[in-house]
Every structure is written in C-alpha cells, then in structure tokens.
Structure 1
Amino acid sequence: MRTIRVGSRKSTLALTQSGLVIESLSNKSDRFSFAVQHIVTKGDRILDVTLSKVGGKGLFVKEIERALLDGEIDFAVHSMKDMPAELPEGLEIASIPLREDPHDVLLSQGHKRLEELTPGAVVGTSSLRRAAQILNVRPDLNIRSLRGNVDTRIGRLKSGDFDAIVLAAAGMKRLGVSEKGENLPFNRVLPAVGQGALAIECRSSDDELKALLNTINHDETAVTVRAERSFLKRLNGGCQVPIAAFCERGNDGILTLSGLVASVDGTKILKTVRSGNQPDALGTLAAEDLLAQGAGEILSDLGIESDPDAR
C-alpha cells in the first residue's frame, strides 16, 4: 500500500478541505493511505499586513509547491482562488472537485443587508476585490482590513470591532458555520477567479497519483474554472487584486463568463459578459474586452502589467 503525503496549511479551513479530499479518495480505492504534512506559507506568517501589501503572487502556495517539487509531499489541496495563473514547471492541477457555493456573504450586526448598513459603517475584509465592489455600491461605507481564520473574523464582528464583514460562502459551508448572512448577488459582488473550487496540485510525472485524483474531478467545474483562469492569466493578475470572474455552463453546453476589473476605491468598474464553447479562448476574449476598456491602466496603477504574451 502506498502512503500518499498530503501538504496542507495549518488553518482549520485548509485542513478541513484536505480532509474532505482524502475522504473522497479513500472511497475510490483501498490501495492507498494518506498522511497530512503541515506547511506554513508566506501568507500565514505575515498576519499584520493587508494581503495586497505583502506583495507577489502565490502567497499561500509557494512553499507548498516547493515541497512538491522537492518530493517532500505528493499532492496539495488549495483554494483555487489562491492559485496564480501560472504554475511552476513540473506541477499541474490534476483534479478540480465539485465546486461549492461561489458567493460572498455579508455578515452584519443586527443581520442588516448591504443597502441597510448605516452610512459610515465599518466593513471588514482583506480583499481588494470585495472592497472595490462594495464601495462601488456603497461609497459611504468604511472598509477596514480584516484577516484571520473564519472563527476569528466572526468573533471580531460579534465583539463590535466591525459593523459587518464579508466571507466566502464556500469556506463557511465547508466548516459548518451557520451564521445568518446575505449572499451578495453577482451583479453587486462578483467572486474571485475559482472561488468555491479546490485545486488539487501534484507533480506532472506522478501518473499513478494523477489517475487516482482524476476519479474525483468534476468536469463542469473544471471547464468553467479553466475559463476563469484563462481570463486571469491574460490580465496577469494574482489572487489579491480587484479582478473577478465567474463562468457557468448552460444546459446547451455553452459557457458564459462574467468578468470584472475595478479600481481599488470602487469608483471605476469595468465589466464584460462573453459566451463561447472553448474555455481558454473565452477567458482570453473576456480579458481583451476589459483591456480595450482601460483595464490595463487600472492594473498598472497597482503595479501589474497585462502580459501581451499570455494570449
């Protein structure tokens, strides 16, 4: 029996997600056992700075990818929205299981909806994407940085540090958190690329493991996320910039992708909706729409250059 070493961050959510994948794989075959190895990433070490100011792509994956390349672990379970558009040579996303709810959720004092928050209310989030879109709808709100695990963030809301906070519905559901909140509609807050999906990354050379991981791949999730990641790649963006996208596949098989790039203060929001059959081409086409609208200028202000070679 082969023992497969699974690399995971130590957060409760990361360990829960790894556990869900291990359970699914264990149900597919009895030829493997699994051992979880904890890895601390740059994003985990630096907790007192807004993620967008930490710098670089792959804040929560680089150390894990190094462990994969060095042969210290065999696969890792990432939140897809943490994954850079480009992977290191020798690694691949071998499986993308069924996507969880991709919405963002607003939790607030008194269970108020976004439009009901008092002018000047303090809203906690570490995401430039969330902050920009919320400010576009409610420029009278006060956005403040909030990091930490789900329980910590909810605790700070309940202690009165914030009037409202924004969390990912997927993380709440995987952790069994049942706080009452408002699912923010996509026409107000579009999710991060890959939000709600998991990325199972392994070495490209490990054919035995790739065959096992493929047994829990969900085709529709994989195809739609592929379109979103193509969009991200063309814009040369990382997980902590105000770029958003969501793709869905209709009953007729047609893919429809909604994409967005925003200025940090929310005063400028560029949007596009495109449909097609080929996920890579669709994502690129949607990104080109936004570049034609001026997305390159917004991203360059953040120190991000759209890559003409990423077409």
Structure 2
Amino acid sequence: MKQKLVIGTRGSKLALWQANHIAACLREHYPNIVIELKNMVTTGDKILDVPLAKIGGKGLFTKELEVAMLSGEIDLAVHSLKDVPTQLPEGLILAAVTDRVDPGDALISPEYKTLDKLPVNAKVGTSSLRRKAQLLNARPDLTIVDLRGNLDTRLKKLTTENLDAILLAVAGLRRLGWAQHITQVLPQSICLPAVGQGALAIEARENDAETLDMLAFLNHEPTRQATLAERTFLAEVEGGCQVPIGVHAQLDQDGQVGLNAVIMSPDGKEAIRDTIAGCPAEAAMLGQTLAVRMLNNGGREILAKLFENQ
C-alpha cells in the first residue's frame, strides 16, 4: 500500500471542499497515509467572460489535471462527475464514483422564491445551456443572462447584476453549507439535471493498480450504474455542455434502473422526452437504447439545427 497520495484539484471553494472530503475519507480508511493536495488552474477557470458552450464544453475543467496525472505529478484527481467527458484520455479511468447527493437544480430568488412567481420578463442567470433551454420551455417570457464564475461569485452576481433569480446545482450549495440560499428545487418535470450531477468522480491512472485498490472503497455501485446509463446516453447523442440535454437515472425500490431524458432546442421550443427502465447490469445498454430512440424520434433534427447555428 502506498504511504502517500497526491490529489489534484481545482482551486475553487467547491473543488477544494470535494478534494478535502475525499482526502478525509482516505485518512479515515488509511490512518497512516499522507495526503497532499495540489491546486491546479484549468482552462475553464481561466476563461470567465465567454459562455461555456462557446469554448468547447466538456473537458474544460479536467484537462490540466489529466495531463498531471499521466505525467505522474499527481496520483488522482477529484472532479464533479458532470464535468468529466464521456471519453477519458488513454491511460486514465474512473476509479470510483461516490454516492450521489441531490442531483437537482436550485432556483435562488430571495424576492420571488419560485419559478412560477417570477414576474414576466424576469432576468434569470445561468451558465448552462441545458438549464436555459428547460427554463425557456417552462417560461418562454424569461430573459436568460449568462452567469459564469465560481459558486460564491455567482451568488454575489444575483445582487450586483440585478437579477431576479439564478440557477445553481443543489449539490454544490449543500456541500459548501449554503443550502439556506435555495428558495426552490426545480422538479425534474421542469428541469432534468446534467449527466452525473451530484456525484463525485475520482480519476486515476489505469496502470496504477495500487492506487486503484486503495480507492475502491469510495465507489458507490448504485450511483456508478445510474451514472453509467446517463453517460452512455450522452456519448451516444454526442453531446457536451454545448448541447441542451437533461438526463437522470436512479435505482428504484425493486432495484431497477429508471432513466429519464430530454433533448431540447436552445430556445426551449422543441423538446423530445422519453424514459426507459431495466436491470443495473444493462445500464449502458439502457442509455444507448434510449438515446437512439430519442434521436430517431426527432432529436437528431434538433441537434442538426443546433450544429448548423454553431
């Protein structure tokens, strides 16, 4: 067993919370281990004045960490699973996927509280094309304002940019102890989450058997199977942050995986929704099957129009 592990992380408050959380789990499991955190700046951290959809989407918050892993500079990286591309660089794998906390999207509106009470033409901030499309589907009158930056920055912009509401992930707010800001968790009938939202991913080198062994206890298999269905769906649709896709899978009381998804036009006017269920062993097949079905039922046309305009 290794006596020391170096964890790579971004420097935001949320990323540091996530890395420290995994470090604490490792120290509890291996009392004599030395854990070092190495802060790194990713492309997504550097470019804050351009919408994510315009600068490439997935991989913006992971690439530099992956380069450091492959070079041996760090042993593992902790990510929000929703930031991790479905195709990892050769030589890297997901060593563990943690138990998912609430995958939902939070509306924060101190004055109006809920989506239905927002006034006509209310200004709502979000950095996500997925959230924007689903919001406009529910409320076509809203004015959507691009909102970049770390969680604390975006919370401040609610006031400094005179917004009526902003949308953030419930999980991040909970992890930082800021759940009191949430005025509504949007129902999934209005806003399906991003792939993997609410779960943490621990990435490591495929050939580093010792580290992989040490990380195995962090894996939560029901979450891994559910998010495998989601990630396979995304890979089949070939979407990233630049494509308005919402998808969520979970295991029901009978142990079946239920997968719900939506493919939308960015303006929210066109939407293809569908659902599928099956056993956890078929998680990847369920994601692929649902994606193909939705693409054939109109999703392909929506995406073709989207790519024409990019």
Shorter-chain-normalised TM-score: which range?
over 0.9
Deviations 1:231-267 (A, max 9, x none): 0111111134211110011121111000111100000
1:1-311 to 2 correspondences below 5 Å: 2-55=3-56, 57-159=58-160, 161-177=162-178, 178-277=180-279, 278-303=282-307
Q: Is the 8 A contact 2:78 2:203 kept in 1?
A: yes
Whole-Å separation in 2 of the counterparts to 1:300 and 1:34: 47
Give the TM-score, by structure 2 length. 0.95
- Taking every aligned residue pair, what percent have the same amino acid on both sides? 46
For 1:210-250, what per-residue CA distance to the aligned partner results, in whole angstroms no more than 9, with x for missing partners? Answer: 11111111111111011111101111111342111100111
Aligned to 1:308: none
Residues 46 and 214 (structure 1), Cα distance of their counterparts in 2 relative to 1, 3 Å cut: same
Helix, strand or coil at the partner of 1:71: coil
Deviation at 1:160, TM superposition (A): 5.1
- Whole-angstrom CA distance in 2 between matches of 1:253 and 1:103: 21
CA 57–302 in structure 1, closer or farther in 2 if over 3 Å, else same: farther
What's the CA shift string for 1:131-164, capped at 9, x where partnerless?
A: 0000000000000100111111111213352110
How far is 1:56 from its partner? 5.1
Amino acid at match of 2:238: N
- Partners in 2 of 1:144 and 1:239 — Cα distance? 16
Q: Match for 1:189: what amino acid?
A: C
| 1:124 partner amino acid | G
Letter in 1 for 2:28: N
In 2, Cα distance between equivalents of 1:89 and 1:239: 22
Question: Match of 1:294, SS?
Answer: helix
CA–CA distance in 2 between the matches of 1:222 and 1:251? Answer: 17
- Could you state the TM-score of these two structures normalised by the residue count of structure 1? 0.95
Distance in 1, matches of 2:56 and 2:91, equals 24
AA aligned opposite 1:244: G
CA-CA distance at 1:38 after TM superposition:
1.1
> For 2:155, what is the secondary structure of its paired residue?
helix
SS at match of 1:43: helix
Tell me the SS of whatever aligns to 1:302: helix
Task: Check whether the contact 1:81–1:239 (CA below 8 A) recurs between aligned residues.
Answer: no
Deviations 1:256-306 (A, max 9, x none): 0001111000001111100011100000011012101121222233339xx
SS in 1 for 2:162: coil
Of 187-196 and 2-11, the range deviating more from structure 2: 2-11
Note the aligned Cα RMSD (angstroms): 1.3
Distance 1:154 1:253 in 2: 38
Could you tell me which amino acid in structure 2 is paired with residue 62 of structure 1? Answer: K
1:26 positional shift: 1.0
Aligned length: 304
Q: Which amino acid is the alignment partner of residue 167 of structure 1?
A: L
Cα 1:136/1:196, change in 2 over 3 Å? same
Answer whether contact 1:85 1:237 (CA < 8 A) is retained: no
* Structure 1 consecutive aligned stretches of length 4 or more whose deviation exceeds 4 Å: none
Q: Is contact 2:233–2:291 with CA below 8 Å preserved after alignment? A: yes
Residue matched to 1:307: none
What residue is the counterpart of 1:309 in the other structure? none
> Residue 307 of structure 2 aligns to a residue in which SS?
coil
Contact 1:246 1:259 in 2 (8 A): yes
Q: Is the 8 A contact 2:52 2:241 kept in 1?
A: no
- 1:69 and 1:289 map into 2 onto residues whose CA distance is 37
Runs of 5+ in structure 1 lacking a partner? 305-311
